[in-house]
Amino acid sequence: MSVDLATVRHIAHLARISISDEDAKNMEGDLNSILEWVEQLSEVDTDGVEPMTSVVHMEMKKRDDVVSDGGYAEKIVHNAPAYEETFFMVPKVIE
Amino acid sequence: MSDLTTLTIAEARAKLDAGEISSVELTQAFVDEIDKADALNAFITKTPEKALEMAAQSDQRRAKGEAAGKLEGIPVGIKDLFCTEGTLTTAGSHILDGFVPDYDSTVTTNMWRDGAVMLGKLNLDEFAMGSSNETSYYGPVVNPWQRKGSNAKLVPGGSSGGSATSVRANLCMAATATDTGGSIRQPGAFTGTVGLKPTYGRCSRWGIVAFASSLDQAGPITKTVEDAAIMLGSMAGHDVKDTTSVDVPVPDYEAVLTGDIRGLKVGIPKEYRVDGMPSEIEDLWAKGIEWLKSAGAEIVDVSLPHTKYALPTYYIVAPAEASSNLARYDGVRYGLRVEGDDIIDMYEKTRAEGFGEEVKRRILIGTYVLSAGYYDAYYLKAQKVRTLIARDFTQAFETVDVMLTPSTPSPAFGIGERMDDPLAMYLNDIFTVSLNMAGLPGISVPAGISQEGTPLGLQLIGKAFDEATLLRTGQIIEQAAGDLPTPASWWKEMS
């Protein structure tokens, strides 16, 4: 499988990264050489093999379903590029 | 007093305990060395005031007769992937400009609890994506080592290049690091330091900037195996804030360094004998086998048939997880924002400017392999191959206790030499990446010097949660290798 320029642009949009024509062209070459290289996995017989979900066999611990953290919204927002009181500020999304 | 910076943690702790030196004296010695080492570019943020304040508090605790922690008064460097309360945390990326966390990672919290002193935040590949520390927004880190008769700058390896360089150049006594595909062990090998990647789940990932969550694991880079044991004892432990941290007891790692490996079964995986492996790497491996044999270990040939598929599997799984983890950098909650025509345009411009080339490359690969129509062919296939890689290890560990391999296929290379070809760069991790796929622990121990006059390392791979055997066996290699040279401090003349 290989990607063309239109696919590179589509993926970049899905990933929300704007990309110049020149960068898209370079990326097309890079991505294709990486994809061609990972293609060797197709020679591995994986019939009946379960996909890995966790490297460590363990029972996931559960905690009581109670509030254990929070109550400091002002600390959360102060790293934002734009905020007012305890709200993140973003460009208008609804007319 | 400049000799203070060449001490190991164990030596410094003994002097502190005996009252021969204070933590403030020790810390000041490092602060002075750091100021002479700007040419190495190992630090993104220096925190001398904080360090001296923490050192003074440590001295006060000792004066009051309070029980000294494992790292009481020991000055350390922190890879800038660990969140630190009140101190800039960048992950080596432009997109985290100005991010000052209000909390510490669990690993650093554990170290402060044990009395450690923070000298600053160490440079790294952007979001820990790289094998040479050349992808940092803050510029490449330089290896303290140079080739014989050359002053060309060499890479320290990556992604924990700042950690490895600063430990080797005596800019800190030990450093935290993280390993997703080799990022602790490969820089350890390139700089002549000990790099320990613990079992997945041994150290909490909470508060560490995420790259590939099913692979990332924190560990130490130190001068000696004993220091690695001390550091791991502080960093490790179960954490309710990370559901993948495992609730098993943390052994007393210092007590396991008995020097006795008689009867230990050491596996030699034949698939690590790759085509075109330099003869000096092959010779070093043979030497390591001899060392362990003469210490009473039994050498056993083992096979890990899916080894060659580990790296391509990694380059599907890790970018897939990274593309998801890095979705959070959108110019809204922290870091850089580049204004746009609307919110989507703002996201796209922010991420285009904030991420470097390698990070973008991996996000795009990850987005592609997870996208509709390709998920089964790439991601699901890779996770199945991963099961086979892990099964190889499980089967081999039925007959052996530990495995010995080289750490890297070559010694440190020059800055800029391998930046044009992403695939050639990825091949650096050929010996380190398999065990990440299986969640297993590994350690790189300095074992020799290349024909170029630069360090080479040997890697030990252990069973899950058996870091103790790695440390005990690693110390045998360290002792057999003897006193290895240290680099000439050329960087001091450049500042």
Find the CATH number of the domain harbouring A34. Answer: 1.10.20
The predicted-structure confidence for B394-434, as pLDDT tens digits, reads as follows 999 999 999 999 999 999 999 999 888 888 888 889 999 99
Q: Are A26 and A11 in contact (CB under 8 A)?
A: no
Residue A37 located in a structural domain: yes
- Mean pLDDT for the stretch of residues B169-175: 98
- Mean pLDDT for the stretch of residues B330-356: 97
Interface contact A88, partner B, CB < 8 A: yes
Q: Is B136 a catalytic residue?
A: no
pLDDT of residue B487: 96
Q: Which residues constitute the domain of residue B483? A: 2-263+400-494
Residue A68 located in a structural domain: no
Q: Tell me which of B384, B386, B392, B433 to substitute to probe the interface with A (most A C-beta atoms closer than 10 Å).
A: B384
* Lookup: tokens for B307: 């080894």
Interface of A with B in 32-51 (CB under 8 A): 33-35, 37-38, 40-42, 44, 46, 49-51
Distance, in Å, from the CA atom of B477 to the CA atom of B284, rounded to the nearest integer, reads: 11
Q: Residues, chain A, total? A: 95
The predicted-structure confidence for B31-49, as pLDDT tens digits, reads as follows 999 999 999 999 999 999 9
Q: Is B371 a catalytic residue?
A: no
Strands B265-269 and B194-197: unpaired
Residue with tokens 């380190």: B432
Residue B346 located in a structural domain: no
Residue A20 located in a structural domain: yes
- Beta-bridged to residue B406, according to DSSP, are B458
Residue A55 located in a structural domain: no
The predicted-structure confidence for B277-335, as pLDDT tens digits, reads as follows 899 999 999 999 999 999 999 999 999 999 999 999 999 999 999 999 999 999 999 99
Q: Which of B23, B105, B132, B159 is flagged as catalytic?
A: B159
Distance, in Å, from the CA atom of B132 to the CA atom of B414, rounded to the nearest integer, reads: 9
The predicted-structure confidence for B198-214, as pLDDT tens digits, reads as follows 999 999 999 999 999 99
Strands B117-122 and A83-84: unpaired
Residue A57 located in a structural domain: no
- Mean pLDDT for the stretch of residues B160-173: 98
Subunit contact B367:A81, Cβ cutoff 8 A:
no
The predicted-structure confidence for B223-279, as pLDDT tens digits, reads as follows 999 999 999 999 999 999 999 999 999 999 999 999 999 999 999 999 999 888 899
Q: Which residues constitute the domain of residue A9? A: 5-42
pLDDT of residue B1: 45
Q: List the single residue in A with minimal CA-CA distance to B380.
A: A51
Q: Is B131 a catalytic residue?
A: no
Residue A23 located in a structural domain: yes
* Lookup: tokens for B343: 């919110």
Residue B345 located in a structural domain: no
Residue B12 located in a structural domain: yes
Q: Are B212 and B318 in contact (CB under 8 A)?
A: yes
pLDDT of residue A1: 66
Residue A71 located in a structural domain: no
- Mean pLDDT for the stretch of residues B113-119: 98
Q: Tell me which of A4, A8, A17 to substitute to probe the interface with B (most B C-beta atoms closer than 10 Å).
A: A17
The predicted-structure confidence for B430-479, as pLDDT tens digits, reads as follows 999 999 999 999 999 999 999 999 999 999 999 999 999 999 999 999 99
First to last CA, chain A: 42
pLDDT of residue A58: 77
Residue B238 located in a structural domain: yes
Subunit contact A53:B383, Cβ cutoff 8 A:
yes
Choose among A48, A22, A81: nearest CA to B99: A81
Whether ipTM tops 0.85, in short, is yes
List phi, psi (to 5°) of A37: -70, -40
- Mean pLDDT for the stretch of residues B13-24: 97
Residue B431 located in a structural domain: yes
In B179-309, alpha helices (H): 185-191, 225-235, 279-294
The verdict on pTM exceeding 0.90 is yes
Got the DSSP string for B105-145? -HHHHHHHHTT-EEEEEE--SGGG--SSS---TT-----S-
Residue A49 located in a structural domain: no
Residue B94 located in a structural domain: yes
What average pLDDT does chain B have?
96
The predicted-structure confidence for B64-89, as pLDDT tens digits, reads as follows 999 889 999 999 999 999 999 999 99
Say yes or no to pLDDT of B495 above 70.
no
Residue B450 is part of a domain; what is its CATH number? 3.90.1300.10
Chain B residues whose beta carbon lies within 8 Å of the beta carbon of residue A1: 374, 377
Domain total of chain A: 1
Domain total of chain B: 1
